[in-house]
Structure 1
Amino acid sequence: MAKRLLLTTILNHNAQGLKPVTSLASIYLRKLHTKNVSFEEVTVPVRCGHVAAKLWGGDRNGQPILALHGWQDNAGTWDPLVPLLNVNRPILAIDFPGHGFSSNIPQGVQYYPWELPRFIYFLKKHFKWEKVSLLAHSMGSIASLRFASLFPDEVDFYIAIDSLIADDYDLEAVIERYPTHLRKLELDLDRLGTEPPSYTLEEIAKIWHLGTKMSVSLESTQYLMKRGLRQSKQDPNKYYFSRDARLKHILFTPEDKKFVEGVAKRLVCPTLYVKAIDSPFATDAFSVEMRESLERRNKNFECHFVPGTHHVHLNNPEIIAPLIHDFLQRHNLN
């Protein structure tokens, strides 16, 4: 019973009534407290609706650190870590399009991984940032490396958790899966606008936990559920996943290794890479080769191996926070 009350309280804190803003300056006028985990909900107008975000405080005159989540997660992924970060700068955690409280992309199209670096560029231009400061996990990390490599003079630092490049996919396996992805994508396009299956809060917590192959601990699902669910109109006692169903069918196209190497070798900004040793991601031979290549090429690249799953920042933020603090202090970036 106590668990149900806790989850219900979490979900009652929603994003209704958000007002679009076109500049962070107006947000900085409000009182923010990082230490007691208070934050402001932010919406940014985009061409296909809006993007939602959480803004934690710091020096209100400082440029924010842009925090980017992983595939099918949302800005809540940073909730446990942010209160532990001893930073003087605001942190702006984005819900990528189709995730959290952000709008979906238009009907009739599908998500494309290379849209995310362009999205980072859009935010930089929108907020008139001179440079971008990146804190990212998984899909957000891959997008951030692409952006930081393509625009090396426009990034002052990059912190990556458990991912750097897209894993080296087996070409035959990808081709084998393409027909299934395309069929399921068509089904989801036909279902857009209809309510998906709904579940009790306890069921959803278990589905989320198991759906990540237990990378997100059962306890940590609460942080993602805050922004990742909607109440069913058919049964008010149940909820459904609000993320865009098309996200499940992104066609990850294997990239030529020489292309990936050509992109990555342009990474010159101070970079902190934290690799979770219990995660299966970025453990293939090519990912390891690319990490070692970055270590050789970039004198400001550092890598730390830590115990934990792919979502180590969410489950064990106390492991990650000191590494980020030391990195920012060492490069005078705080």
Structure 2
Amino acid sequence: MDVVWREVWLEVGWGRLAAKTCITGGSQEAGDVRLKIVGLHGWMDNANTYDTLIPLLPAGLEVLVVDFPGHGYSDHLPSGAQHSIINYVIYLNMALHKYGWDKYVLLGHSLGGTVGVYYTALFPECVLALMNLDIIGTLPKDNDVNTWRKNVAVLIKREEQDKEKNPVYSEEKALERLIITRRGIDNITNIDEDAASILLPRSACQVENGYKWRHDPKARNIDQMFTGGESFLFAQASIKCPVLLVLATYGVYFKRWSHILDSRVEVFRDNAKWFDMEEVEGRHHVHLTHPERVAPILTKFIKKVLQCELQPPQSKL
């Protein structure tokens, strides 16, 4: 069933985060809402990433999908400020608090899933459950001072590139670049032209001779220097709410990082209220390209969360 999206703007002090909201099932009455869901998109994607998935979810869900800073319609960070996982967590919490939401389920894909893990760890009182699509969290990386120095050099370079002229692309070239930049390991194509067409209106603005990217150039490099390794495991182990992980057969953990999956899954199994994991045929963006494979898994988990939330508390007497 189609949903009706409404644009909203969330103030975060230095600027505004853009977001879009809807109520599933065709109803636009807040009284019909049974659960609130916050959608978090992947790196260099935007809030349109869930356009094909959300209409397939159960009725009565109020969904708010947020553009991260410098992505989609959201404002760019001020000059001198840098993109980082922890900053995204803080800005998101500020935005949701001002929007008036205090209890919700997080739905994260890729970068959004990593942000979701740290958010849940830092604000557990707000998160009823965490649903991650083809990501558990930060991927393995070298964690030493020399690597940090290289990362800082890249961040400084991006600050300089922020001042460069934004080129104009034809629609064909813009779609092509969206597809190419989302290729995975072994040059696997993660999205097709239809999916790229869904992301394009929020990724680029239309000008006289074509399209210009909306994104903040600095967002191409997000500072993750202190949000990997043991710090991520500490955050993951602190999560006590229900967790769902949906993996793509040819997604992030295909080949290159498959060896880390079992150990991280075990952390969720040992600490979350309950942990569900399912695998679906597809690529990293399978939720966008083949939402019919992902929606039933989310629906089953959401109903389980609803049943848990509606149960009266048991007496301790």
Same fold (TM over 0.5): yes
1:230–1:316 CA distance, 2 compared to 1 (3 A) = same
How far apart are the structure 1 equivalents of 2:296 and 2:289?
A: 15
For 2:217, the equivalent position in structure 1 comes to 245
- Counterpart code for 1:68: L
Question: Secondary structure of the equivalent of 2:105?
Answer: strand
Q: Which residue of 2 aligns with 1:228?
A: 203
1:211 aligns with 2:177: no
Q: Superposition pairs for residues 173-188 of structure 1, below 5 Å? A: 174=147, 177-178=150-151, 181-182=154-155, 184-188=157-161
Give how far 1:280 is off. 3.0
Q: 1:127 maps to what in 2?
A: 99
Q: How does 1:103-118 map to 2 (within 5 A)?
A: 103-118=75-90
Q: Name the CA shift for 1:116/1:87 in 2 (closer, same or farther; >3 Å).
A: farther
Bigger shift: 301-310 or 121-130? Answer: 121-130
The answer to whether structure 1 residue 293 and structure 2 residue 263 are counterparts is no
> 2 CA distance for matches of 1:111 and 1:74?
15
Mapped to 1, the partners of 2:148 and 2:126 lie a distance apart of: 36
1:302 aligns with 2:272: no
Q: Secondary structure at the match of 1:220?
A: helix
Residue 133 of structure 1: how far off its partner (Å): 1.6
- C-alpha RMSD over aligned residues: 2.2
Give 1:175 shift: 5.2
1:286: Cα distance to partner? 3.4
| Selected match of 2:292 from 295, 311, 318 | 318
1:292 and 1:160 map into 2 onto residues whose CA distance is: 15
**Distance between the aligned counterparts of 2:177 and 2:194, measured in 1?**
13
Cα shift readout 1:27-69 (whole Å, capped 9, x = no counterpart): xxxxxxxx32321111122212221111112452335311111
Determine the C-alpha separation between the residues in 2 that align with 1:111 and 1:179: 12
- 1:44 and 2:10 aligned: yes
The CA deviation string for residues 111-169 of structure 1, in whole angstroms up to 9 with x for no partner, is 11111221232133213323232111111111111111222232111111011210011
Q: For residues 124-203 of structure 1, what are the structure 2 equivalents within 5 Å?
A: 124-171=96-143, 174=147, 177-178=150-151, 181-182=154-155, 184-191=157-164, 195-203=165-173
Structure 1, 218-227 or 123-132: larger mean CA deviation: 123-132
1:265 counterpart residue number: 237
Instruction: Give the 3 Å change call, closer, same or farther, for CA 177–316 of structure 1 in structure 2.
Output: farther
| Equivalent residue in structure 2 for 1:94, among 66, 69, 79 | 66
SS of residue in 2 equivalent to 1:219: helix
CA contact (8 A) 1:168 1:287 kept: no
* 1:291–1:40 Cα change, 3 Å: same
Q: Distance in 2 between matches of 1:255 and 1:156?
A: 23
CA distance in 2 between counterparts of 1:109 and 1:268 reads: 33
Identity level (%): 27
Aligned partners of 2:258, 2:158: CA distance in 1, in Å?
Answer: 28
- Contact 1:72–1:99 (CA under 8 A) maintained in structure 2: yes
User: Do the aligned partners of 2:104 and 2:127 also contact (CA within 8 Å) in 1?
Assistant: yes
- Provide the C-alpha distance between the structure 1 equivalents of 2:148 and 2:122, rounded to a whole number of angstroms: 28
Amino acid at match of 2:162: L
Q: Distance in 2 between matches of 1:143 and 1:209?
A: 23
Unaligned runs of at least 5 residues, structure 2: 184-188, 310-317
SS at match of 1:64: strand
When the two structures are aligned, how many residues end up with a matched partner?
Answer: 294
Give 1:249 shift. Answer: 2.3
CA distance in 2, matches of 1:81, 1:43: 22
- The answer to whether the 8 A contact 2:38-2:64 is kept is yes
Q: How many angstroms does 1:100 deviate by?
A: 0.7
TM-score under structure 2 length normalisation: 0.85
Distance between the aligned counterparts of 2:156 and 2:13, measured in 1?
28
Letter of the aligned partner of 2:95 in structure 1? L
Q: Sort the Cα spacing of 1:182 and 1:288 in 2 relative to 1 into closer, same or farther, 3 A.
A: same
CA spacing shift, 1:251–1:44, aligned 2, 3 Å: closer
Report the Cα distance in structure 2 between the residues aligned to 1:49 and 1:325, rounded to whole angstroms: 35
Q: Provide the TM-score with structure 1 as the length reference.
A: 0.81
State how 1:7-22 maps to structure 2 within 5 Å: none
- Whether the aligned pair in 2 keeps the contact of 1:165 and 1:287 (CA below 8 Å) is no
